[in-house]
Structure 1
Amino acid sequence: MNTLMQIWEYVLVFVMAAIPWVEIVLVIPLAIASGLNPYWVTLIAFIGNALPILIIIAAYEKWESWRAERKRRKELAEQESVDLQPAELQSTELQSTELQSTELQSTELQSTEAQDASEEQPSKRGKRGRKIWNKYGLPGFALLAPAVTGIHLAAVMALAFKSPKRPTAIWMTTSLALWSVTMGVVSYYGLGWLDWIR
């Protein structure tokens, strides 16, 4: 029963590390503080955090092409619906639409501009991420990501900033390895130091 409980605790470390926004910075110290083996905690947390990153990187290109295809189909469908209307009906509708649009144009323009402005406002994390990206590039972004934006979001942002997949995967996993080892060592010796003080 004791062995089964230990396995369950390590599975929990893996799952918690894999969940976005629950970073290794939190999972590793808590797991080591609960008495789990620091070596296995660090390794399992690294694998749990790296696996979703690699899946995100692999799936991002397919997601982007799906979005582009969906947008293209939507525009094509809108264009076809306009083309299918009879010419007389189109001209009558066009005249009535022009009258209505001149009346509502200023109102719509203001609401559209306000909506576009609100949609284009990046989040606080997004602003920080862009600032770091502009200053340090992919290596600096990846190395600071666990502390600044979270590694999962950082991978998506790096790909959105048009970083190639392979360097993104290499830098993100390297960053995770460094952060995992650092957090494991600091947690282990930090807890040992706290025990020594008592």
Structure 2
Amino acid sequence: MFIFAATPALELWAVIPVGIALGMNPLGVATFGFLGNIIPVYLIIIFFTRIKSWLQVRGYIGKKPAQSRKRSYRFFKKYGVPGFAVGAPFLVGVHVAAFLVLTMGAKKRGALLWMTVSIAFWTIVLTTASSALYVKGALI
């Protein structure tokens, strides 16, 4: 579960419901899902400057912001780090959200705090919902 949770496309959204549907212990699934998401996010935030430089040298990040980044920036300005951390996982995933929030000027400490809160919140919500659906027989 840890490896799947650390995979950007899967993250918590697939890992927790699938793990619980397979009959795994919900607490174990939640724990490994949380850790699988939070560890890469912490690494992205801690090594942000190096990652950003590496992407710029290779041309993955241009000088002119893309249209999607402009939309992200408006969302960030309106809701701040807390809103971006909680809302962005729906749209781009927590790994990309962690990187984006720093490119928009957030402090590393705030990003670490709010990404942790967001991942913990969604882990609890998804584990509770998936467990309830599994008990009712709807998640099989």
Match of residue 19 from structure 2: 31
Q: 2:21 and 2:70 mapped to 1: Cα distance?
A: 34
Aligned residue pairs, count? 133
Change (3 A) 1:190 1:34: same
Percent of aligned pairs with the same amino acid:
36
Q: Counterpart of 1:121 in structure 2: which amino acid?
A: A
* Aligned residue among 84, 88, 92 for 1:141: 84
Change (3 A) 1:192 1:157: same
Q: Compute the RMSD of aligned alpha carbons.
A: 2.2
Kindly indicate which of the two structures has a greater share of residues assigned to helix: 1
TM-score by length of 2: 0.84
Answer yes or no: is 1:167 the counterpart of 2:110.
yes
Answer yes or no: is 1:122 the counterpart of 2:67.
yes
Match of residue 155 from structure 1: 98
Change (3 A) 1:51 1:120: same
- Flag structure 1 segments of 5+ consecutive residues without an equivalent: 1-12, 71-115
Question: Residues 25 and 146 of structure 1 are in contact (CA less than 8 Å); yes or no, is this contact kept in structure 2?
Answer: no
Match of residue 134 from structure 2: 191
* Aligned residue among 50, 64, 67 for 1:62: 50
- Flag structure 2 segments of 5+ consecutive residues without an equivalent: none
Match of residue 99 from structure 1: none
Q: 2:13 and 2:134 mapped to 1: Cα distance?
A: 15
Tell me which structure has the larger Cα radius of gyration: 1
Structure 1 counterpart SS, 2:15 = helix
